[in-house]
Amino acid sequence: MNPQIERNGTSSVNPATGETFAFHPFVPDGDLKELLADSHTRFIAWRATPLAERLEILRRFADGLRTERDALAREATLEMGKTIASAGGEIDKCAAVIDWYVERAPQLLADRPVPVPSGKAHLAYEPLGVVLGVMPWNFPYWQILRAAVPITTGGNFFLVKPAENTMGCGALLQKLAEKTGFSRAFAVANLTKEQCATALADTRIVGVSVTGSVRAGQALAQLAGRNIKKSVLELGGADPFIVLADADLDVTVKAAVSSRFSNCGQVCIAAKRIIVEDSVRDRFTRDFVAAVKDLEPRDPMDEGCFIGPMARIDLRDTLHRQVEHALSEGATLLAGGFPLNRPGAWYQPTVLGNITQGMTPFTDELFGPVASIISARNADHAIELANDSRYGLCASLWTRDEDQATRLARRIEAGGVFINRISASDPHLPIGGIKESGFGRELTEWGLYEFMNVKTVWHA
């Protein structure tokens, strides 16, 4: 059991100090039916609300995010150790995704005429109902809102369960929603796993959006399938960061450090497997290791801090066991490799070399500040290694040859390929995975239509 989960609720624990500072009770079992009924009632009213009015409420919510930016950022730093600068940037991104939908929703939700052999036809986009969201802790605002904004823009209601250790962030979103009117389409609830299962079996819940571990995705997708409910899953990743021989190594090394160690390495689309062509492996490794050794875990409240603690002590301990297991398999420790001797969930930024197929860092997701370097004979071998994974979220490819990059990108088995840039989620592009990284898409029109009834209307 995670230290944040207690018998009657969850606790907020500062991972920089190990101190508990808040308690959040679970929704009483007796109140769950009322919560679901209320969510459905709000959906009926929200669906009937003119789009222009819905968008105005979203606009007010975005303004509220910008006004409350500092308080929201501070809570994220306190609850999961995100650096204060990164937390502020996360709030900015949440407001930006609302801007994207407010600007484009009238066009995206308008009836779309379709040429047909006879008569006339159009597609209509209609909301389905109440969608359950089960969200993670690593981006406690962005993960919730990148799902919530398109879902509610389309006229659905979004009932979200935040992660146990970031319920304080969820509570702040709830307060802001009530203040701005967004609570007409959005509610936060501290639900247990059993209550989530009960909700998915209820006819008033039409689907579930999950971001989290493969295990969580499997369980919730199974429940959704059993009840014939739509699910969208964004799960784990072991994303390849492919460095070809002609890459600009100075730029690539800096990008690799940023991609792997931002948010203390706790990013689904981080550069987890760094695959480097043999001819440049030694130089890349030398420069990369030197840069990682310069990283100094510091107080995440410091504006200049790049890397703070991990989010939880149990996660830190799991990561360390994975590192030790990798070393027993034959990996080479090039930097770090140990928890820091201070209160909280601190771990020294780590680099593992000599990683080959079948080793733990190659096959599993290491969710923390640990980079794994893998050698490739050539570009074709690099793609083969990249695809040798049960995951398929994103990939990053570094080369000066744009034509080659475009060809190779088509061969990479992933939901997104980023050429000469680190993997990122952005309001302008859909995000999602294949294989065990999940299915469905978030953001842009693809995310908007996931929980919509795309209705065919054909006149004689």
The catalytic site residues sit at 234, 268
CA-based Rg of the chain, rounded to a whole angstrom? 22
Q: Looking only at Cα atoms, what is the longest distance across the chain?
A: 75
Q: Considering only CA atoms, which of 446, 450, 443 is closest in space to residue 98?
A: 443
CA distance 154 to 453: 10
CA distance 212 to 216: 6
> Under a CB-based contact definition with an 8 Å cutoff, are residues 372 and 363 in contact?
no
DSSP for 217-282 reads HHHHHHHHHHTT-EEEEE-----EEEE-TTS-HHHHHHHHHHHHHGGGG--TTS--EEEEEHHHHH
CA distances from 370 to 94, 259, 327, 352 (A): 28, 11, 13, 7
> Under a CB-based contact definition with an 8 Å cutoff, are residues 291 and 257 in contact?
yes
Amino acid at residue number 359: M
CA distances from 457 to 111, 153, 168, 211, 311 (A): 10, 22, 45, 34, 49
Buried b (16+ CB within 10 A) or exposed e, 158-191: bbbbbbbbbbbbbbbbbebbeebbbbbbbbbbbb
Instruction: Give the neighbor-by-neighbor strand order of the sheet with 120-127.
Output: 112-114, 120-127, 452-459
User: Tokens 């939700």 map to which residue?
Assistant: 109
CA distance 404 to 247: 12
The DSSP secondary-structure symbol of 27 reads P
CA distance 206 to 204: 6
CA distance 363 to 214: 13
Structure-block tokens of residue 152: 């509610």
